[in-house]
Structures are given as structure tokens and as C-alpha cells.
Amino acid sequence: MKTILLLTASTGGGHNQAANALKEIYSQQGYQVETMDIFRDSNEKLDSIMVEGYAFLATKMPKTYGDLYWLSNRKAVNKPFCDVIARKVWRSLNQKILETNPELIVSTHPFAVEIMAKLKRQTRLRCPYLAVVTDFIAHQTYLSPAVDGYIVGSEWTKQDLIQKGIPSEIIHAYGIPTRKEFYTPSIGRGFSGEMKVLAMAGSLGLEEMADCLDVLLSDTHSNVTAVCGNNQALYDLLLHQFPQEIKEERLTLYGFTKNIRELMDTHDCIITKPGGLTTTESILRQIPMIIPFMIPGQEAENTEFLVEEGMAIHVQSADDLAEQIHQLERHPHRLPLMRARMKVIAQTYSPAAIFALSDRMIQKQHEKVLIFNAGFGAGHQMVTDAIEEEFSAHFQTASIKEIDLMEWLMPQFSQSIYHGYRYFVKNYESLYNRFYEEKETDDLSSMLFAKLAQKKASRLLAKETPALLISTFPICTQVLGTWIEKKGSKIPLITVITDVTSASEWIHPAVTHYLVASESVESELIKKGVDPNRISVTGIPVRRAFQLQKKREVRRVHAPIRLLVMGGGLGLLPEDHTLYRWLSDDTSIDATIITGHNHKAFQSLKSLYPSLTVKGFVHDVAGEMKQADLLLTKPGGITLFEAIHVEIPILAYRPTLGQEQKNAKFIEKMGIGQSVFTTGEILKAIDTYKSNQAIYQARSQMATIHTGLSDASEEIWQQLLENRFNV
């Protein structure tokens, strides 16, 4: 049986009430539900401090509580405070998760958010996490990228969260969960002219109610029902203060009662403090609210929402209550108007929608994203890694699987094929380019290959049952597109074009969306008949390590200038040793050469030029780029866009291959570098960039490019992840 884990805490009654309501919803649909009190079940001392401290401050020192609420609503204060709590609790929660293995985690308390965030940072937890906001304005404590979905009490709350930076697509205004009896259709009410008032003090019971009742019973003709909650002292006080009114049945007195729905249905208005659950229940039963007292902080914000939406009247003191009651009696149309407004909002509250969202999130974690690539150069794998990072950041519950085309189709021969490709590229450039030019306009060979691969494709896709297909290699697009056409499948296929090219082999009518490197590629695809609505210019995806922070210090140009020389995935470095001798002798150049998997070049350069920094395979390429001022490299598509994001000008070394030539033209057109073929051209170009102005100009161009691309990429990936990956 699938398990859902509910996280709650006993600071006030609303969090537990919401958790109990969710337990009822999930249990009725066949889920096993485990509940954890994040404080009581983790740390008794912390539980005592949090629960008793909250009760004391809220009832005895409300102003102090309000001051602490507003102070902690600032990120600079909130984050360290929540982190202290999270350190005390997250291990206990992790143990509970290991024991129960939940399909979904749902919290009804704000402190659970940071605890879950810390747990996600410290473990490999991929279980989806849903946070219920139990007030109508979200405190800073609720805000975290660890949350996969929010349930909120109104569109007002949703807009507040959006303004605070939460993506709109993960916020769902389905209402704060409460007991199922409150969702039954509300009865119609008449008005006899004599007000029937329900007075509630909340689960803690507020002593200000005694003053309100004194005014109501002295200065109006209202019949009053008072609910004191768990405050036995308040109940005893009222019992002794109003014996005559109780005897005359003008005052009916309850302590804690579960009969709230019936009481709401038989009264004209409710005098109460605006806790999240009480407010929700009042909206569902459409009983207008009068608010004479509140706990400063979240309840002040709830009051703002209620008054602004025309569902409540706020009075500054108990003395004003009588006048408000008289106003309602003199203007009997006001109560129906308030009820009508409540009805509009109540219609958006739905336990069924809450369950459907929860079930959808559970199903999504089992949905699989397949990313198809091929080992013809390192760039396709790097793009695949970047896409996987993007998914993990935006949709943590997706199951992502990478599939190498040749290893999948021909596992025994794939490595030989890749070795043959590298040999072919290194030694037969002109022949490779002739083949590349033919494929620019003719995709016949790719289509033939795709047809031959259909049996294996059908077996694989039937086994994996993916929700989304992504291709980073043209033949992968043809294989997958042909399968989709043949089967009539509705699975979306996203093609990420990994060079500044629009070669025909990338194009297939079954592709749902293309992500392309530049506007020029977009224009060329449109000329070839691709619908513009199916194309987004996002640049070539790069790993997050290459992406600079939006707010950062301007990088200075070093003296001597730092030159980074990279051979790319194939280790294709300049062979003219005149270059390395010059770099070794020129004190105005600080050169680092990365040979990658070219072990022969590494041994040779290391022994011949001890003054140069020579490195073999490097894991932290982003770090090397960020430390350098100028990059000399083969202009592969992924390297090009990594350099753009790092803002390091590019000397495109010998762009002789077809795709490299297009990439080099893009570099020169955008003013972010230049092509170089000979040692003389390299040295002349380096001299040009020794001028700080030339580097700063190129960096400025790169910043403009990657900022626009990052914004576009963020938007399109969010769209791709909406509605179970429907594009």
C-alpha cells in the first residue's frame, strides 16, 4: 500500500486540524497515512519550547509575539533561525522517511519547510513534497525551492506567493483542508431581525471574549452562543459572569466542541479571531465574520484579506461591537452580500482537487524522462548532463535516464564505432566535411538508419514507458520521431540542437519542440518548414557550474594575461611547437594547456616546456575558464556556449569541420572572439586582447547573450514541465 507522510506541529490547533483533514482525504482513497509531529517526535525539549512558548506569547504577550513574527518575516533573520530548528529535527525526520518510505510528504506547518529543505540538501530524497499554507498570507518561513507544490487558501494567497518569487504553476488555491462535514452544501438563511451571534475564542481561548460578550449582552438584543475552546478558566469565568443571561437562554456556553458546523449554520454571524482554519470553515459555511481580537502577525494578515474581500468586519475594540451589530440589523442586505462573496471563494475549495494534485505528484515521480545522446564528440554528453541538471532543479521528482544511441543499438561495436569516428575526424577532414554538407540538406541516411532501428526502439520504449523524450543528437531525433509516427504516440519529443546549425537530419515532423542555439538557426528552421511556435532560442544548455551569478563583482583582466588552451573532447591542440615556445618565453602571457585525453600531447608538452602549466583531463573545466582571460580552443558548440556563460573571449582554433565553421562565424558575428589558423594569427590575436578594452567589450557582448538566453531557457523549461510534461 502506498504511504503518505504528514508533517504537523501543535503550535495552535489549526496545523493538526489540517493534517487530520488530509489524513481523512488520503485514507478514504486507499493510501496509508503516517503522521509526524516535527517537534514532539524529534526533540521533547524543543517541542516544549515551541508549543508552550507559542501559547504563552500568543495569549499573554501578543505584542511581543507580533514583533517576533514581523522580525522573522525578513529573510536575513528567518533563514538562520529556521536553520537552527532544522538542525535539531532533520535527522529524526530522515529516519521516519526511511522507515515509512512515503510516496508523498505533505506538511501543514511552516517550520517543516526548512527542515525538508535541509533534508533534501543532505540526502538523495526524491519524494515529492507538498506544503499547505495554513494562513492567507505566506510567512517567509514557507518560501523554499524544496517545495514541489503549495496548497493555499485563496487566489489572494497565490498572488502573494507569486510576488515573493514562487512559480505560479506550483501554487494551487484549493483551500486550507478542514473536516469533510464543512464541505457539504451550505443551507439558505433568513433573518428574523434579531441577531443570532456565534462567538468563538479559538483553540487557545482568548480572554478578550469576556469583554465582547459583556457588550453584546448589555447593549444589543442578540442571542449569543459562546465557544471557549480549551480555555477552562475562560469557561468558568463566563459561567460566573453571566448566570442570568445563561438562565434566560440569551447566552449558550460551550467549552471545546466538535459541533461547530451546526452552530455556524444556525447563526447569522460569527465573532472570532481569524485563524486560518476558523476562517476557512466560516467561508465554507458562509457565515460573515466580525473580528474584534486577533493574535498579531499571521492573523492580522488574515484580517486584511477578509476585510479586503468583503467577508468580514474588523472592529478596533469590544466597545465598537454593539454599533456594528446595530448596523447589520438596520441594513439587512449587508449579510447576504458578505455570504455571497464567501460562496464565490468557497466554490474553489475542494478536497477532491487536493487529492487529485497529491495523486498527480505521486504519479509524476514514477514518470520517466529519457535523454538520448551519442558519443560522437564530448559535447552531446555535456549537453545531456546540463539538461539533467535543469530537470533536477525544476522538477526534482522526475526519474531521468540517459541512453547512448550506439551502446543501445550495437553494444558490442559502439566503442569501435566511436574510435573510428575520432580517427576519421582527425585524419580525413575534407571527406568528413563533404559528408557533413550532404547532410545539411539530405537526411536520407539518417532516415534509413531510423527505420532499421525501429524494432529495438519499440522494445525499449515499451519497457521504459517514458513521459518525455529528449534528443541531443540528430540520428536520435530520427529514430524517436519515426517511432512516434509509426505508433501514433502522444509522448512529447524535445530536440536540443547542439551546434549553430539547422541541418536537415535534425528535423522530423514528430518533434514537439526544438531548442536552438541562436536566432539564425531559428530562421533557417522556419525556412525549412518548421512551425515557429515549435522553436525556442535557448542557447545550447550548459551545466550550472558555468553559469555566473546574476549579482557579482566585475572580473579584472590579469597581468600577465591568462590564456587557457583546450583541445576539446578529441584533444585537438595546435601542433606547431613554435606556439608553445613563444608562450613559454613571453612573460606577458600566463598560459595553461589542457590536453584532455590526448596523453601523447600531455607527456610531450610537460617535458619540453616546464614553465607552462600543462594539465591532462580536468573535471572542473568551469573553474579553469573562470580563472582565465582568453580561451584558445576548437569551437565545438558546447564549448562555445560554456565560454559565453563564463564570459571568456574565444580564439576559435582551425574551425575546419563543417559545424565548427558555423560556430566560428557565429563567434565573429557576435563580437565575442575570432578565428585563428596559424601560430602567427594566434599570437597576433593574443596581443589584441592584451588590451583590457577588447576583453571587456567581448565580455559585455557575452553577458548580453547569456542573460537573454538564460531567461528564455528558464521560461521554456518551466513550460515543458507543466501539466505532466505536455508542451
> Which single residue is written with the C-alpha cell 496509508?
32
Question: Rg of the chain over CA atoms, in angstroms?
Answer: 33
Angle at 126 (CA atoms; ends 406, 122), nearest 5 degrees = 110
User: What angle do helix axes 321-330 and 208-219 make, rounded to 10 degrees?
Assistant: 50
The topology under which CATH files domain 554-711 is: Rossmann fold (3.40.50)
**Cβ-based neighbour number of residue 384 at 10 Å:** 25
For residue range 327-348, list pLDDT tens digits in order.
Answer: 888 888 899 999 999 999 999 9
C-alpha–C-alpha distance, residues 357 and 326, integer Å: 45
For CATH 3.40.50.2000, the residue range(s) in the chain are 3-175, 183-345, 367-541, 554-711
What residue type is assigned to position 36 of the chain?
Answer: M
For residue range 59-107, list pLDDT tens digits in order.
Answer: 667 677 667 767 777 777 777 777 778 788 888 888 998 899 999 999 9
Name 549's Cβ contacts closer than 8 Å, sequence gap at least 6: none
The answer to whether 147 touches 108, Cβ cutoff 8 Å, is no
Instruction: Quickly state the pLDDT bin for 193 (edges 50, 70, 90).
Output: low
Strand arrangement of the beta sheet that strand 3-8 belongs to: 32-37, 3-8, 104-107, 129-132, 149-151, 171-172
The answer to whether 66 touches 35, Cβ cutoff 8 Å, is no
What residue type is assigned to position 188 of the chain?
Answer: G
Give the length of the chain: 727
Instruction: Quickly state the pLDDT bin for 723 (edges 50, 70, 90).
Output: very low
Joined together, the cell numbers standing for residue 127 give 519524494
Q: Which of 23-32, 303-312, 550-559, 716-725 has the lowest average pLDDT?
A: 716-725
Whether residue 365 is predicted with pLDDT greater than 50 in this model: the reply is yes
Q: What is the pLDDT of residue 203?
A: 54
Q: What is the pLDDT of residue 380?
A: 74
Element of type H or E holding 262: helix 260-265
Distance between start and end Cα atoms, the chain: 32
Joined together, the cell numbers standing for residue 414 give 559502439
Q: Mean pLDDT across the stretch 187-200?
A: 77
Whether residue 573 is predicted with pLDDT greater than 70 in this model: the reply is yes
C-alpha–C-alpha distance, residues 310 and 533, integer Å: 43
Q: What is the pLDDT of residue 727?
A: 38
Whether residue 33 is predicted with pLDDT greater than 90 in this model: the reply is yes
The answer to whether 288 touches 339, Cβ cutoff 8 Å, is yes
What residue type is assigned to position 319 of the chain?
Answer: D
For residue range 374-384, list pLDDT tens digits in order.
Answer: 877 667 778 88
For residue range 407-460, list pLDDT tens digits in order.
Answer: 888 888 888 887 887 777 677 767 766 666 665 665 666 777 788 888 888 888
C-alpha–C-alpha distance, residues 628 and 555, integer Å: 10
| DSSP one-letter code for 557 | P
C-alpha–C-alpha distance, residues 594 and 286, integer Å: 71
Q: What are residue 268's phi and psi, to 5 degrees?
A: -85, -35
Whether residue 205 is predicted with pLDDT greater than 70 in this model: the reply is no
C-alpha–C-alpha distance, residues 574 and 598, integer Å: 12
C-alpha–C-alpha distance, residues 354 and 351, integer Å: 5
Q: Mean pLDDT across the stretch 364-375?
A: 82
Class of domain 367-541: alpha beta
C-alpha–C-alpha distance, residues 688 and 673, integer Å: 11
Element of type H or E holding 130: strand 129-132
Q: What is the pLDDT of residue 192?
A: 62
Q: Mean pLDDT across the stretch 220-241?
A: 87
The answer to whether 212 touches 322, Cβ cutoff 8 Å, is no
Q: What is the pLDDT of residue 51?
A: 73
Helix ranges (DSSP H) in 44-175: 44-60, 62-72, 75-100, 111-122, 155-163
User: Across the chain, what does the average pLDDT equal?
Assistant: 85
Q: Mean pLDDT across the stretch 380-393?
A: 79
C-alpha–C-alpha distance, residues 284 and 270, integer Å: 13
Of all residues in the chain, what percent carry a pLDDT higher than 70? Answer: 89
C-alpha–C-alpha distance, residues 217 and 226, integer Å: 12
Beta bridge partners of 675: 652
Whether residue 202 is predicted with pLDDT greater than 60 in this model: the reply is yes
Backbone dihedral region for residue 317 (phi beyond 0: left; psi -120 to 50: alpha; all else: beta): beta
Q: Which of 287-291, 374-378, 568-572 has the lowest average pLDDT?
A: 568-572
Q: What is the pLDDT of residue 462?
A: 86
- Burial (0-12, 13-18, 19+ Cβ within 10 Å), 94: middle
Q: What is the pLDDT of residue 725?
A: 42
For residue range 593-624, list pLDDT tens digits in order.
Answer: 998 878 888 898 989 999 899 998 888 889 99
Q: What is the pLDDT of residue 422?
A: 73
Pairing of strands 312-314, 289-291: parallel
CA-closest candidate to residue 158, choices 145, 172, 142: 172
Strand arrangement of the beta sheet that strand 196-200 belongs to: 251-254, 223-227, 196-200, 269-272, 289-291, 312-314
The answer to whether 432 touches 424, Cβ cutoff 8 Å, is yes
For residue range 638-695, list pLDDT tens digits in order.
Answer: 889 899 999 999 999 988 877 888 889 999 999 999 999 999 999 999 998 887 888 8
Which CATH architecture describes the domain 183-345?
3-Layer(aba) Sandwich (3.40)
Instruction: Quickly state the pLDDT bin for 568 (edges 50, 70, 90).
Output: low
Whether residue 721 is predicted with pLDDT greater than 70 in this model: the reply is no
Q: Mean pLDDT across the stretch 131-159?
A: 91
Joined together, the cell numbers standing for residue 651 give 580564439
Angle at 80 (CA atoms; ends 75, 84), nearest 5 degrees = 140
Residue with more model confidence, 186 or 324: 324
Q: Mean pLDDT across the stretch 127-150?
A: 90
C-alpha–C-alpha distance, residues 54 and 166, integer Å: 28
Alpha-carbon distances, residue 107 vs 73, 130, 177, 318, 489 (angstroms): 19, 7, 12, 36, 37
Please tell me which of 67-81, 380-394, 517-531, 540-554 the model is most confident about, judged by mean pLDDT: 517-531
Q: For domain 3-175, is the CATH number 3.40.50.2000?
A: yes
